[in-house]
Structure 1
Amino acid sequence: MAKGEITNLSVFDVRFPTSLDHHGSDAMHTDPDYSAAYVIIETDASDGLKGHGFTFTLGKGTEIVVCAIKALSVHVIGKQLKDIVSDFRGFYRQLTSDSQLRWIGPEKGVIHLATAAVLNAVWDLVAKQEGKPLWKLLVDMEPKQLLSCIDFRYITDALTEDEALEILEKAKSGKAEREKYMLKHGYPAYTTSCAWLGYSDERLRQLCTEALEAGWTRFKVKVGADLEDDIRRCKLVREMIGPNNIMMLDANQRWDVKEAIDWVSKLAQFKPLWIEEPTSPDDILGHATIAKALASSGIGVATGEQCQNKVMFKQFLQASALQFVQIDGCRLASINENLSVLLMAQKFQVPVCPHAGGVGLCEVVQHLIIFDYIAISGSLENRMCEYVDHLHEHFKHPVVIKNASYVLPKEPGFSSEMKEDSLQQHKFPDGKVWQELASKP
Structure 2
Amino acid sequence: MSANEDFKIIDLIAQDIRWPTSLEQHGSDAMHTDPDYSCVYVTIKLLNGLYGNGLTFTLGRGTEVVQKACEALKHLVVNKNVHEIYNNFDKYWRNLTSESQIRWIGPEKGVTHLAVAAIINALWDLWSRIENKPLWKLLVDMEPEKLISTIDFRYISDVIKPEECIKMLKDQMEFKDDRLKELKKNGYPAYTTQVGWLGYSDEKISKLCKEYIQKGFNAFKIKVGQNLENDIKRCDIVRQAIGWDKVLMIDANQIWDVEEAISWVKELAKFKPLWIEEPTSPDDILGHKRISDALKEFGIGVATGEMCANRIMFKQFLQIEALQFCQIDSARIGGVNEILSVYFMAKKFNIKVCPHAGGVGLCEMVQHLQMWDYISLSGTKDGRYIEYVDQQHDQFIKPAIVNEAANYIAPDWPGYSTELKREAIQMFKYPEGSEWTKLFKSGKFKNEKTNQIDITKRKIFSGEMYD
TM-score where L is the length of structure 1? 0.98
Correspondence for 2:463: none
State the AA in 2 paired with 1:248. Answer: M
Q: Write the mapping of 1:3-14 to structure 2, written as runs, cut at 5 A.
A: 4-14=7-17
Distance 1:323 1:157 in 2: 21
Structure 1 counterpart SS, 2:7: coil
Query: Shift in Å at residue 49 of structure 1?
Result: 2.1
Distance 1:104 1:96 in 2: 11
Query: Shift in Å at residue 250 of structure 1?
Result: 0.2
Q: Write the mapping of 1:133-172 to structure 2, written as runs, cut at 5 A.
A: 133-172=134-173
Distance 1:275 1:188 in 2: 19
Correspondence for 1:70: 71
Distance 2:309 2:415 in 1: 25
Q: Which of 31, 44, 47 does residue 41 from structure 1 map onto?
A: 44
Query: Shift in Å at residue 199 of structure 1?
Result: 0.4
**Per-residue Cα deviation, 1:349-373 (whole angstroms, up to 9, x for no partner):** 0000000001110001110000011
Query: Shift in Å at residue 84 of structure 1?
Result: 0.6
State the AA in 2 paired with 1:193. Answer: Q
Q: Which of 405, 408, 416 does residue 407 from structure 2 map onto?
A: 405
Distance 2:342 2:174 in 1: 21
**Per-residue Cα deviation, 1:8-50 (whole angstroms, up to 9, x for no partner):** 11110000000000000000000000000111111012xx221
Q: Write the mapping of 1:310-389 to structure 2, written as runs, cut at 5 A.
A: 310-389=311-390
Distance 1:155 1:83 in 2: 25
Structure 2 counterpart SS, 1:333: coil
Distance 1:107 1:433 in 2: 35
Distance 2:207 2:17 in 1: 31
Correspondence for 2:427: 425
Structure 2 counterpart SS, 1:173: helix
Distance 1:387 1:155 in 2: 30
Structure 1 counterpart SS, 2:71: helix
Correspondence for 2:460: none
State the AA in 2 paired with 1:53. Answer: G
Correspondence for 1:29: 32
Correspondence for 2:458: none
Correspondence for 1:275: 276
Correspondence for 1:131: 132
Distance 2:164 2:131 in 1: 29
Structure 1 counterpart SS, 2:283: coil
State the AA in 2 paired with 1:276. Answer: E
Q: Which of 424, 440, 445 does residue 438 from structure 1 map onto?
A: 440
State the AA in 2 paired with 1:268. Answer: A
Structure 1 counterpart SS, 2:196: coil
**Per-residue Cα deviation, 1:369-419 (whole angstroms, up to 9, x for no partner):** 000111110011110110000100100000110110100000000000000
**Per-residue Cα deviation, 1:238-261 (whole angstroms, up to 9, x for no partner):** 111011100000000010000000
Distance 1:214 1:438 in 2: 36
Distance 2:129 2:104 in 1: 34
Bigger Rg, structure 1 or 2: 2
Correspondence for 1:252: 253
How many aligned residue pairs are there? 439
Distance 1:91 1:179 in 2: 31
**Per-residue Cα deviation, 1:174-225 (whole angstroms, up to 9, x for no partner):** 1111111110000100000011100011111111111011111000011000
Distance 1:332 1:416 in 2: 18
Distance 1:187 1:298 in 2: 25
Correspondence for 1:18: 21
Q: Which moved more, 1:246-255 or 1:155-164?
A: 155-164
State the AA in 2 paired with 1:244. Answer: D
% identical aligned pairs: 55
Distance 2:25 2:437 in 1: 21
Query: Shift in Å at residue 165 of structure 1?
Result: 1.4
Correspondence for 2:418: 416
State the AA in 2 paired with 1:28. Answer: M
Distance 1:258 1:246 in 2: 25
State the AA in 2 paired with 1:411. Answer: W
Structure 2 counterpart SS, 1:356: coil
State the AA in 2 paired with 1:24. Answer: G
State the AA in 2 paired with 1:285. Answer: L
Distance 2:33 2:51 in 1: 36
Structure 2 counterpart SS, 1:192: strand
Distance 1:246 1:180 in 2: 27
Q: Write the mapping of 1:66-145 to structure 2, written as runs, cut at 5 A.
A: 66-145=67-146
List 4+ stretches of structure 1 deviating above 2 A. Answer: none
Q: Write the mapping of 1:224-243 to structure 2, written as runs, cut at 5 A.
A: 224-243=225-244
What 5-or-longer segments of structure 2 have no aligned partner? 444-467
Distance 2:82 2:280 in 1: 41
Distance 1:75 1:309 in 2: 21
Q: Which moved more, 1:123-132 or 1:162-171?
A: 162-171
TM-score where L is the length of structure 2? 0.93
State the AA in 2 paired with 1:9. Answer: L
Structure 2 counterpart SS, 1:38: strand
Distance 2:174 2:259 in 1: 45
Distance 1:118 1:413 in 2: 14
Distance 1:226 1:414 in 2: 39
State the AA in 2 paired with 1:345. Answer: A
Distance 2:307 2:111 in 1: 12
Q: Which moved more, 1:156-165 or 1:265-274?
A: 156-165
State the AA in 2 paired with 1:203. Answer: K
**Per-residue Cα deviation, 1:262-318 (whole angstroms, up to 9, x for no partner):** 000000000000000000000000000000000000000000100000000000001
